[in-house]
A and B are shown apart, each in its own frame.
Chain A
């Protein structure tokens, strides 16, 4: 069977190279519709059984199974970046990776499975999701609408993100929250400190930094992290009751922590700093932002990506890894260190088994200098097809491809 997949993969190479070039040339800051049009046309020409898109701008291509049992969802994303976020460094810091290789491997692994005519026990659903920075509205919309009736049949989700041909099983969570301190500080507190608004914030900032040194860690994912992203204040005089200040915190966290716990803790820290102050209210809240998709849909999104970890002995993870190792890949299980993925939704929220697979390293992937070589992409397509075949393919035990 691997011979058959390999042989058919060769037949696809030429168009894969062409498609990769076209997609690299396409500027992601341009109109997204142009981008999705390119992908949807490619899917159609590769004989996907169904190509459609939803109101949120998600692009969906389906390879029909010969039965209607387990479905598999393959997800790649395309980044929608505002012009000020163009600098790569900034992107990486915020967990965004502009990884076009994922789009190519998701579309072409689907095409490869189709080309072999190997029957699937259920549908293969390839989804390209436009992703605004720190916004998972696209994936949510997809699962709440198009995929909703199929939810029970989904055996797993494969995220096409850089893993250097390993199987990744999760990453830390990331959230942005604000500590809002509102009201009047009394003279006692201010005597020892600076007199202006900024000065009044320093004790809180310093306590937060202290707290950042004592964060928990996870054996697979590493340490949590706390970074002060921004401070804002209104007015000049902390003794004026109409004024307020906010500390915006970028928080990386692990599965043992949770949203309300983190916010409570932040509140406690602030309360301790300003204890004895009577005319003050302290609040903490998750940051939100409004998002408008290129299709015109307006959504409000909370800036939270949940951490997630798949059990390494879960059959979906195990079989996927074995499908690679059995066929010559030197893969192992791993976890992303920096980037955030749709797994925060599919695995952490929906409890759907989720894994990541793709070519390239998460640190060096950068769409400005497309560092993925073509043979790496081809290998990713081959590996992805093996994973798909192993999980929802009808196995061909006993029959060899050397015709009998």
Chain B
């Protein structure tokens, strides 16, 4: 009964390919003590790395060189140790990591031990950019901070409930089984968080709601149909490449195109993957930036910007309408992450002409939105339209805490 009655501080670690977001969150009250982000980690060419570090609202910005995520974490931990000298509250009891792609090995948060590490190691190739970074960090913590327990929360776990008709690819069954090929889905932590927040905001029971969550970010974008609290379908697939148009990813694409380009241009598979992952999407269409906000700024003057915007919007609309069909109308539509919360024109364009499906946005409310959770649907909209800022770190802490309590009572 270690944790049940006491408060516990969880240090959440959320790795991107070149960033590390972290928070110390006190559970169960969900109070954020420390929050920060290390940016440009391990990138050689673009100047120094930056750590933005806030303790109970006070923010510092530190410029330095960080050659990898482990070095970043080391620095962050020494910052926290300094803070702890001034304020005894600033401590942490547990590490909690977000892990991107555990294949079919894990469908719920786990405590790290040797077996778990062994299994995670087998998944490295599934997300060749993200998994190794996170894995190395977990191993690093395991080596350097033996006394601190570590938990891993999976971005894919939320999607384990997607029914077979939506998660199955029409591939030979033998092949799918051998390589675990099915819709895994990503951004699960975020989709689950905004869904729960939206229901809390509307004072509705998630178990009775049909929700569509659009996680539209400057990194990846995905959309998720949530039926009665459970993920029902999502646009990303076995990898994050499927689905919506993203900043540099193509999203859905005729596979014949891949083969054709590889043959015509004599690209190696690695080169072709690089093009579709890093040079396509918004960047491929607009060419001067991969950020949709830059596209929006040029939309009236630049034909390429208009094309990029239209394609991005149309792909979201297509999935959104598909999910309305399979949910037989949605009760709540949520926009989240940087583009979902920060670009009013995007929400307006996505919702345009969808009255037929019960979705109708209030233009004025939409324009006036500043921050926090807000309801933007028009009076006649059958579907509630909400903007909910995402907070993956809090969700990681919540999921970890749930698991802690479970383990605790079991002991």
Please encode chain A, from 193 to 206, with 1 for each CB lying within 8 Å of some chain B CB and 0 for all others. Answer: 00000000000000
Chain A residue nearest to B262 in the complex (CB): A397
Q: Are B255 and A395 in contact (CB under 8 A)?
A: no
List of 5 A-B pairs having minimum Cβ-Cβ separation, nearest first = A398-B256, A397-B259, A397-B256, A395-B263, A397-B260
Distance in Å: Cβ of A129 to nearest Cβ of chain B: 31
Q: Are A398 and B254 in contact (CB under 8 A)?
A: yes
Please encode chain B, from 255 to 270, with 1 for each CB lying within 8 Å of some chain A CB and 0 for all others. Answer: 1100110010000000
Q: Which residues does chain B contribute within 8 Å of A399, judged by CB atoms?
A: 256
State the CA gap A395–B256 with chains docked (Å). 11
Residues of B within 8 A of A (CB-CB), count = 6
Q: Are A398 and B263 in contact (CB under 8 A)?
A: no
Distance in Å: Cβ of B80 to nearest Cβ of chain A: 49
Q: Which residues does chain B contribute within 8 Å of A398, judged by CB atoms?
A: 254-256, 259-260
Q: Which residues does chain B contribute within 8 Å of A397, judged by CB atoms?
A: 256, 259-260, 263
Taking Cβ atoms with an 8 Å cutoff, the residues of A that contact B are 395, 397-399
Q: Which residues does chain A contribute within 8 Å of B255, judged by CB atoms?
A: 398
Distance in Å: Cβ of A284 to nearest Cβ of chain B: 47
Distance in Å: Cβ of A262 to nearest Cβ of chain B: 40
Distance in Å: Cβ of A270 to nearest Cβ of chain B: 52
Tell me how many residue pairs across A and B have CB atoms closer than 8 Å.
12
Q: Which residues does chain A contribute within 8 Å of B259, judged by CB atoms?
A: 395, 397-398
State the CA gap A312–B200 with chains docked (Å). 62
8 A-B contact pairs sorted by A residue (CB < 8 Å): A395-B259, A397-B256, A397-B259, A398-B255, A398-B256, A398-B259, A398-B260, A399-B256
Distance in Å: Cβ of A373 to nearest Cβ of chain B: 33
State the CA gap A34–B340 with chains docked (Å). 80
Distance in Å: Cβ of B264 to nearest Cβ of chain A: 10
State the CA gap A397–B254 with chains docked (Å). 11
Distance in Å: Cβ of B123 to nearest Cβ of chain A: 27
Q: Which residues does chain B contribute within 8 Å of A395, judged by CB atoms?
A: 259, 263
State the CA gap A274–B86 with chains docked (Å). 94
State the CA gap A360–B368 with chains docked (Å). 80
Within 8 A of A (CB), among B251-310: 254-256, 259-260, 263
Given A398-B259, A398-B260, A399-B256, output 9 extra A-B contacts at Cβ < 8 Å: A395-B259, A395-B263, A397-B256, A397-B259, A397-B260, A397-B263, A398-B254, A398-B255, A398-B256
Distance in Å: Cβ of B45 to nearest Cβ of chain A: 30
Distance in Å: Cβ of B81 to nearest Cβ of chain A: 50
Q: Which residues does chain A contribute within 8 Å of B256, judged by CB atoms?
A: 397-399
State the CA gap A268–B255 with chains docked (Å). 64
State the CA gap A398–B263 with chains docked (Å). 13
Within 8 A of A (CB), among B94-138: none
State the CA gap A399–B257 with chains docked (Å). 12
Distance in Å: Cβ of A174 to nearest Cβ of chain B: 37
State the CA gap A398–B256 with chains docked (Å). 5
State the CA gap A399–B255 with chains docked (Å). 11
Chain B residue nearest to A121 in the complex (CB): B263
Chain A residue nearest to B266 in the complex (CB): A315
- Of A395, A397, A398, A399, the most chain B CB neighbours within 10 A belong to A397
Chain B residue nearest to A399 in the complex (CB): B256
Q: Which residues does chain A contribute within 8 Å of B254, judged by CB atoms?
A: 398
State the CA gap A397–B255 with chains docked (Å). 9
Chain A residue nearest to B260 in the complex (CB): A397
State the CA gap A281–B350 with chains docked (Å). 95
Chain A residue nearest to B255 in the complex (CB): A398
State the CA gap A113–B255 with chains docked (Å). 26
State the CA gap A397–B263 with chains docked (Å). 9
Chain B residue nearest to A394 in the complex (CB): B263
Chain B residue nearest to A395 in the complex (CB): B263
Chain B residue nearest to A398 in the complex (CB): B256
State the CA gap A397–B253 with chains docked (Å). 14
Q: Which residues does chain A contribute within 8 Å of B260, judged by CB atoms?
A: 397-398
Distance in Å: Cβ of A328 to nearest Cβ of chain B: 16
Distance in Å: Cβ of B258 to nearest Cβ of chain A: 8
Chain A residue nearest to B254 in the complex (CB): A398
Distance in Å: Cβ of B266 to nearest Cβ of chain A: 9
Chain B residue nearest to A397 in the complex (CB): B259
Q: Which residues does chain A contribute within 8 Å of B263, judged by CB atoms?
A: 395, 397
Distance in Å: Cβ of A385 to nearest Cβ of chain B: 19
State the CA gap A395–B255 with chains docked (Å). 14
Distance in Å: Cβ of A122 to nearest Cβ of chain B: 14
Please encode chain B, from 305 to 329, with 1 for each CB lying within 8 Å of some chain A CB and 0 for all others. Answer: 0000000000000000000000000
State the CA gap A399–B254 with chains docked (Å). 12
State the CA gap A395–B263 with chains docked (Å). 8
State the CA gap A398–B254 with chains docked (Å). 9
Please encode chain B, from 217 to 261, with 1 for each CB lying within 8 Å of some chain A CB and 0 for all others. Answer: 000000000000000000000000000000000000011100110
Distance in Å: Cβ of B202 to nearest Cβ of chain A: 46
Distance in Å: Cβ of A396 to nearest Cβ of chain B: 9
State the CA gap A398–B255 with chains docked (Å). 7
Distance in Å: Cβ of B116 to nearest Cβ of chain A: 37
Distance in Å: Cβ of B333 to nearest Cβ of chain A: 35
State the CA gap A395–B266 with chains docked (Å). 13
Chain A residue nearest to B261 in the complex (CB): A397
